[in-house]
Amino acid sequence: MAVLIALLGIGGWAFGGSNGLAIMLVVGLAINVGSYWFSDRIALLAHRARPVSPDEAPELYAIIGRLTQRAGMPMPSVHIIPSGSPNAFATGRGPRHAAVAVTEGLLGLMDRRQLAGVLAHELSHVRNRDVLIATIASGIAGVISTIGYALQWGLMFGGLGDRGNDDRRGSPLAAIAWVIVAPIVAMLLQLAISRAREYGADLSGARLTGDPDGLADALERLEASSERRPYEYAGPATAHLFIVNPLRGRAMLSWLSTHPPIEERVARLRAMRGTVAAPAV
């Protein structure tokens, strides 16, 4: 996160000296504030998630209620996405302002044990504040990439001009280097943050249920089923939120994906057998 903010600041300095640095830092702060307050509502609206009551989804509420009680968390709002593709995500800036959304396909595919594993994974994201971290990282990386691509046209048409030695003006060479390098570095950092938090949520979720095999089984079923039934509302801006990548196809290299390989996640969970407490649900 610090490197992403630094990239944004360096870009401002390279193009506008001290004035540009100040502008970019203000932009970074605005992104953080916007992500903090509005990311949950935007994500739920983007995926057409509707809130449901305990009467509409009693089993879903029962599992989430037991898991949150064990984790010492408040009950999040519960939403269902009208999609036959099995998947789930959590959003919100923290445990007191959280939402969990599952697709209709997930509810039809998972048994109770597997569903508990998926929900524990998502609640772990909330408890660890992964949703906020990933959303801010994605927002900053997106701004860096957008600015970098836009400024390429300025460089092509001589937009930097003769900057001289004034500290308030930018450095043409530094600006060119930033345009080339910064968007790539920002993307790789954002993806690395997302993958690391997925591993962390798997670990925390398995500890929360006391049943790592339940989550491992769920991940295997999710991978097979999501390939057969792609998610229709998938988009790169929110792909990192889901328990499995909703975008079609797989990245050629694991470090170009928002999610670690399912095989590696399952192997880590299987290795936890006998190291956690008895199942809670």
End-to-end CA distance of the chain: 36
- Extract the tokens encoding 243: 């328990």
For 48-94, where are the alpha helices, taking DSSP H only? Answer: 58-71
Beta strand 97-103 pairing with 77-81: parallel
H-helix or E-strand spanning residue 119: helix 112-127
What lies within 8 Å, CB to CB, of 201 at 6+ separation is 121, 122, 124, 125, 128, 130
**Using only C-alpha atoms, what is the Rg of the chain?**
21
d(CA 229, CA 218): 16
Which active-site residues does the annotation give? 122
